[in-house]
A and B are shown apart, each in its own frame.
Chain A
Amino acid sequence: MTDYDLSKTIIPYLDRHLSFPLLAHLLEISIFPDQDVQTAQYELAKGTNMFDYAVQLFTQIYPDQPVPLEFDVKRTNAVSTHERLQQEAQAVLDVIENPDVAQALRQDKNQNLQYLKDNYNLTLEQITALYNFGQFQYSYGNYSGAADYLYHFRVLSTDNDLNTSAHWGKLASDILTGKWDIALEELNTLRDVIDSRAPAPLLAPSSAATSAATPEPALAQLHSRTWLVHWSLFVYFNHPQGRTLLLETFLAPTYLNTIQTSSPWILRYLAAAAILSRKTTTTSTSTSTPLSSRVRNAIREVVKVIQTEEYQYQDPVTSFLKELYIEFDFEAAQRELALAEEVVANDFFLNEFREEFLDNARYLISEAYCRIHQKIDIADLSERLNLSRDEGEKWIVNLIRETRMGADAKIDLEKNVIEINRPALPIYQTVIEKTRGLALRTQALGAAVGRTGQQGQGQTPKVAENQAPVVTVN
C-alpha cells in the first residue's frame, strides 16, 4: 500500500504545521514503521516553537536519553520574544478595539492609516507588529490567536507582500483550528489574490521551500497555485460542500493546467471528487441550487485529463476511471476498484469518504454497464460490483428505483436477469437537444457585439435568421 501513499509527495507543498496531521494519520494507519514516522514528526517539530510537543516526541523516540538542553534555552527565548511581541501588538490592539476607532474605520486603507496616525499615533511599523506576533503565535501552535492577529493586520496593512503572507498564515490557522467555513472563505480570497495579481509573491509563512522564489512572475504564480491546490485539499475534503467546490476550482482551466504541469498526483483527488460528486449531481437536480456544467460533466472531463496524463501519473483511483470509461473493461475496473478502495481508506484526505466512494463507484459501473447491455445477468453484475448475490439484487433494485430507470429496466427473477429496453431517442428530441442553447448563446453574442460597437454587427442578424427555422422544427 505504501506505493500509493502520497504523503511524501504532498508534504513538500505544505506548511510545516499542516504536515503534522498528515504524519499523525500515517501513524494511525501504520503502513510505515512507527519509528520512522515519529522521527519525522520530531524533525518537523524541532523547527517550530512548539517545544513541549517536540520534547514529548523526543522522549517517545529516545526514551532513555535526556532531553537536549537546547530546548530550555529556546523556550526561555521564545517566552521573552512572546512577551515583547505581545506588548507591541497590544498597543495596536488597544487602539483598534476602541469602539470609536472601529466606527471611524472605512474601506480605504490609506485613509484608515492616516486616521490612525493622526489620532492615535499609530504607524505602519506598529501595525506590522500585529503580523509578527501573529506569526509567532502560529509558530508555537496557537492557531486561533494567530488567525485573529493576522486578520487585524490584514485589515489595516497596505503592504501587499505581507498581506499575501498574512493570507497564507490565516488560511493555515483556520485549517488547523478546523473552522472550515472561514477557511473556505479565506481560500477563495487568497485564490482571487493569486489570480488577480500576475506577479504574486511567493510568500507562504515560515516555510523553507518557498525560499527558492524566482523572479519570474509566471513561475511564481504557478508555484503559488500549486501550493494553493495542495492546501485547499484540507478545506475541500472537510467542508460539507467541498467536493463540488473542488471540482469547480480544479477543473477551471488555470488550475487544471497547474495540476497537469506541476502536480499530476492531485488527479487522484480530482478523480475521487468526481466520483464522490455523482450522488450530488443526480440528486440535486431537483433541489434549488443548479450546478455548473463543469461539475455535471466532471467525470467526463476528469477521464480526459487522466487519459492525457496517464504517462505521468496513475494510481488505482485514476485507473479505475480509465478502465471503466476508456477501455470499457469491466473486469479490470472491478479489480482497480478493489485496490482503489484500499487506497482511499488509507489516504489522509479521502479516508472519511470510503463508503461513499465505494457506493458511487459501484453506481458508475452499473450505470455504464446498463447503458451498454441489453440483458444483464444479476449474478454477473453483482460480481462486477464486488457484492454477494443477494446484496447485488438489493443494490440493483435500489439503483433502478433511485435513478428512475424503472421505465426501461425490468428484473426477470425467473431467469435472474435484468432486461433493459432503451427506446432510441426520438429524432426530434435530438434536434431539440442540439438547438437548446442556441438562442441564449446568440443573445450573449449579440450583447457582446453591442458592447464592442459597430464592428461585428453583421453577425447577429445572420444567426437569428438562421435560427428561426430551427426553432420551428422544435
Chain B
Amino acid sequence: MSRTLPSWAQPRHDKRRPKVTWPADAVAALLASVRPMAPAGAPPRRAPALPALNLRSAPSGRHLLFRALSLRLDVELVAADSLAGLQPPLVFAANEQGALDYQVLQWALPPVLRPTMIAPSRALARGRNVVVFADEPVGHRLVGEFSTIPADLANQHGVPIVPVGVVGTFKLKDILKLALRSRPKVSVRFGAPIHCRGRSLAETTAELQTRVEELVQEGDLSWWTVQRRHRGAGDGGRLTADAAPRWRRLWEQAAPVKPARTRIWR
C-alpha cells in the first residue's frame, strides 16, 4: 500500500443488530396525520383524475344555459371539438373584449367545462377549469397582452391551456340596452391546446398571445392570410394585422345577421 490513510479511517466491524423502529414511526405517523404540515412553496395537490372529455362533453350548444343565452345573442361556437380527448382541468385563456365576456363564456360552455375566475390555483387543484383573460387592449389592438399567469398555472398543475377567442362582446352591455330588431352576433372560438412542458413561461405566453390573436382575427381575415402573416411576419412571427379602428369594430360587430330564409314581404 503506497497511500497512507488517516489513522481514524478504520473499517466498521460492528454487525447491524435488529432494532425496533415501528413504535416511534407509528406515533410520528399518527401525529403527522392529525397535524399535517405542508410547505408554503409546495405546488398544489394533483386533482383527482377525471375521465377525458369526449365529444358529448364538448360544447355543442344544446345545454339549457346556452339556449337561454341564445334568446338574446346569436352565439356561434367554433372548433369546439378541439377540446375532445383533453383531461380536465383546463386553463382557458381568452381575450377581454367587454364586461360580459366571462358570463358569455360561462353560459356558452356545458357544465363540465364551465370555468371559474375565482382562486384559480385552488380551483385547478380541485379539478375545476379556470379562465384567465388578457389585459384590456391598448390603442387599436384587438387583443390585449396576456400575463404569464395562464402559463404559470398550467405549468404548476401540469394542465393544458386552451386559447379562446371571444368576438362580438365589445360594448355588448351597451348594445343590449338598445332596441335592436336582431340579436347581436357573438363568436366563441377555441384553439388547439397548448402544452407548456419544456418551454419557458415567456415562450408559452408568446405562443398563447399569437394563437388568441389568430382566433380573434380569423373571422375578419381568411385562415390562409392569418397563416401567411404568422409564418412570414418580419417581426419575430408576431401577427401584424392592421388593427381596425373602434367604429369599424362596432360596425362589423353590429352587422345584420343573414336570415335563414329569404322573406318576400316585410
Genuine A/B complex:
no
Interface residues of B (CB under 8 A from A): none
Interface residues of A (CB under 8 A from B): none
